[in-house]
A and B are shown apart, each in its own frame.
Chain A
């Protein structure tokens, strides 16, 4: 049956079903989600484009190896509840991944249909199925094993921590998540904006975890409020560290401490977590620039530049020292940013910031670059062109050039081996660290990466922790 449908699809050449979106002009001024979601009909149409490959490349392209053809078949048959059950076998946060995975580099990037046209919209389908389930609540939650009496502490409630907590609670262990912020979710809540990932989705996932029996302790800064040693003294049998990268990188150029120069972490935290976009109903303010410059071109930079527009900027520019080909952000975000009117200045690097007598930024000086030989990252190294200085007027600068390892926890924990950049050294397959009964995963091990990789690391660590709790180290 699948065969004939696939053949039919091929014959009729069903085009990739477009994801309905808010108009660029309208959405650039509100914080509602940009893609508004597909209808069941559109999802089923899209599902019909899948060829149900015998050796599906897409599955190999997905870091957690979701059984993609199986769930797509279920969507095609209109059995969305079966589809979510399939996805849940390997991915606990499909509503998140469907929205934020860099699909073009992963599942969709290797989809066979994509060889000759647009790949199957796997991300959109995943999102559809997850949203459908959140609305209808028809699927049976996974079975929980008998209590084991073992206690696990999970430090950090980002995607890696949530995955570990979900997996271990299902295996019958007692799990407590410790989160430094007053709200759970990690970058999903403080970093990625509402217009890309509604917070309600994250909170609903966390509520689901709590319903399964995981405990959540917010306002707990491990390393300060309580140390890892103390957690063991309190009777925890194992600890997972998933504290993210969380240390903003600055540029070390003159004028960087002027008012109006922000790290992306601060700018986005103010806007997302503290809801500065609803100021003054919410108490936390954020500077609303008229002419905003964002430095960097990753997802973080796109989120910052687009947030600036929504907070009322007249101009929002991205300044990036490499070329368009090296832009690391998700394709969809770059496209959305351009549609909304974000201006891109490639091969440009900042050299200094200027301010007025009140210490507020009024402009920056930049330098043009050209591309030289490939560097360690394999990307061609930007080299400054002498004498190419120019000035840009701006009253807000957001620095989004990456993050480093936050030392707060690692420095307060003895026996935890770190690499030369301060990231935790953990076994690739299991997440085991150099310290007994301590695992780590996500950005604090790999450096800034992706949601799905953090979740994959969480899954591996959970399996290894379960083995340890069952059989010992």
Chain B
């Protein structure tokens, strides 16, 4: 069992943080890599990015949004409970390079995934502007951490309750217009990444996105995580999860993420019934 030693709630309890004992994974993990977790015998294998690792302490930290049955089950785990299985580190590590001016754009729990990458990019000497967004102020996560990880933090809320009123893409465009940006890293909901991609195509910048298709094994064995990048089929778990955001077929990804919508609802309802909700 992989024990939970710290648990926090964020964004009004819709986002949960778990710090988990997993010394071997903590030792090996690099920014951008993920783990697959399974809560118990009957559980699903769920991929989550490591938001933090502490090799000395032997722990990894995951931050996830409660969206369906499995993440609801994870939410109900307490400190000293544990995950039956944690597999990783999986996926390719982020390609880190000193390029100069960088923008990191994050939305929703994508911010958690973005955090270690942002920090690493700054550590190797890039000038990192970070733009994070949420629907409303109370749903914003990791503000302090992102501030520390970047040179300049901008905040956006859809409803204007905090920071810039509007989407992260608007602020990003302003920063791009100031010139000199070499690389944009965007991680968040697929529609957000698609919007970012449409804008950055108009500039001479590279775009790196992190994709989150449905996965099973995470080792390239099933092909369930396939995405189309530059017209070619790629397996996100081994070829990614990061890809050139100007080549990704986001529409296909969005459709594929809906594969099990009906089943997931059935599963979630079943779980709520079992819990007597």
Chain A bound to chain B: yes
| Smallest beta-carbon distance B79→chain A, Å | 22
Question: Do the beta carbons of A221 and B263 come within 8 Å of each other?
Answer: no
**A280-B270, A287-B259 given as contacts; is B219 within 8 A of A221 (CB)?**
yes
Which residues from chain B sit less than 8 Å from chain A, CB to CB? 24-25, 28, 38, 42-45, 69-70, 73, 84-90, 216-224, 226, 228, 233, 238, 252, 255-256, 258-260, 263-264, 266-267, 270-271
Q: Size band of the A side of the interface?
A: 35 or more
Distance (whole angstroms) from the CB of A447 to the closest CB of chain B: 15
| Known A257-B226, A359-B252, A408-B238; contact A274-B89, beta-carbon cutoff 8 A | no
Taking a contact as CB atoms closer than 8 A, the residue among A259, A270, A358, A406 that contacts B219 in the complex is: A406
Q: Are B220 and A406 in contact (CB under 8 A)?
A: yes
Q: Give B263's nearest chain A residue, CB to CB.
A: A285
Q: What are 15 pairs between A and B in contact, CB < 8 Å?
A: A182-B84, A221-B218, A225-B28, A226-B24, A248-B222, A256-B233, A257-B256, A259-B258, A263-B223, A263-B224, A274-B45, A283-B44, A287-B259, A287-B263, A407-B220
How many residue pairs, one in A and one in B, have C-beta atoms under 8 Å apart? 118
Q: Is the CB of B70 within 8 A of A283?
A: yes
Interface centre among A248, A259, A274, A280 (most CB of B within 10 A): A280
Residues of chain A with a CB closer than 8 A to B263's CB: 279-280, 285, 287
Contact A283 B69 (CB under 8 A): yes
How many angstroms from the CA of A266 to the CA of B225 in the assembled complex?
A: 10
Contact residues, A252-287 vs B (CB, 8 A):
252, 256-257, 259-260, 262-263, 265-266, 269-270, 274-275, 278-285, 287
0/1 interface trace, chain A 204-226, chain B, CB 8 Å (1 if under): 00000000000000110100111
- Listed in ascending order, the chain A residues whose CB lies under 8 Å from chain B are 180-182, 218-219, 221, 224-226, 246-248, 250, 252, 256-257, 259-260, 262-263, 265-266, 269-270, 274-275, 278-285, 287, 358-359, 406-408
Given contacts A181-B217, A257-B226, A407-B220, contact A280 B89 (CB under 8 A): no
B174 to chain A, nearest CB (A): 35
What chain A residues lie within 8 Å of B224 (beta carbons)?
262-263, 266
CA distance A257 to B255 in the complex (A): 10
Q: How far is the CB of B134 from chain A (nearest CB, A)?
A: 28
State the Cβ distance, A357 to closest chain B Cβ, in Å.
9
Closest residue on chain B to residue A244 by CB atoms: B221
Residues from chain B with a CB closer than 8 A to the CB of A248 are: 221-223
Chain A at the B interface: mostly helix, strand, loop or mixed? Answer: loop
Select from chain B the residue with minimum beta-carbon distance to A180.
B219
- Other-chain residue from A225, A263, A359, A406 in contact with B89 (beta carbon distance below 8 A): A225
| Bound CA span A269–B220, Å | 13
User: Which one, B45, B87, B267, B270, contacts A221 given CB within 8 A?
Assistant: B87
Chain B residues near A221 (CB, 8 Å)? Answer: 87-88, 90, 218-219
Kindly provide the distance from the CB of B100 to the nearest chain A CB, expressed in whole angstroms.
31
B258 touches A358 (CB 8 A): yes
Closest 9 CB pairs of A and B: A359-B255, A285-B263, A266-B222, A283-B44, A280-B270, A263-B223, A182-B85, A248-B223, A266-B224
Max count, chain A CB within 10 A of own CB: residue among B90, B233, B259: B259
B216 engages A274 (CB within 8 Å): yes
Judging by beta carbons under 8 Å apart, are B223 and A266 in contact?
A: yes
> Is the CB–CB distance between B90 and A224 below 8 Å?
yes
Interface centre among A225, A260, A285 (most CB of B within 10 A): A285
- Distance, CA A218 to CA B270, complexed state (A): 29
| Chain B contacts for A224, CB-based, 8 A | 28, 88-90, 219
Q: Tell me whether B228 and A257 are in contact (CB under 8 A).
A: yes
Complex contacts, B86 vs chain A, CB 8 Å: 219
Distance (Å) between the CB of B212 and the closest chain A CB? Answer: 16
Distance in angstroms between the alpha carbons of A170 and B220 in the assembled complex: 34
Chain A contacts for B259, CB-based, 8 A: 259-260, 287
* B267 x A250 contact (CB < 8 A): no
Contacts A257-B226, A257-B256, A259-B259; A225 near B25 (Cβ below 8 A): yes
Structural contact, B266 and A280, CB atoms closer than 8 A: yes
- The smallest C-beta distance from A114 to any residue of chain B, in angstroms, reads 38
In the docked arrangement, what's the CA distance between A256 and B223, Å?
Answer: 11
The one of A250, A269, A270, A278 in contact with B221, judged by C-beta atoms closer than 8 angstroms, is A269
Q: How far is the CB of B42 from chain A (nearest CB, A)?
A: 5
Among A219, A248, A279, max chain B CB count under 10 A is at A219
Most buried by A among B24, B217, B220, B255: B217
B84 — which chain A residues lie within 8 A by C-beta? 182
| Assembly CA distance A265 to B220 (angstroms) | 10
| B44-A247 in contact (CB<8A) | no
The 8 Å CB contact of A408, one of B87, B216, B220, B226, is B220
Q: Smallest distance from the beta carbon of A45 to chain B beta carbons, Å?
A: 42
CB distance from A327 to the nearest CB of B (A): 24
Given contacts A218-B85, A219-B87, A247-B221, 9 further A-B contacts (CB under 8 A): A246-B219, A246-B220, A246-B221, A260-B259, A262-B223, A266-B216, A283-B69, A284-B45, A287-B260
Q: Are B219 and A408 in contact (CB under 8 A)?
A: yes
Residue from the list B43, B222, B228, B270 in contact with A263, Cβ < 8 A: B222
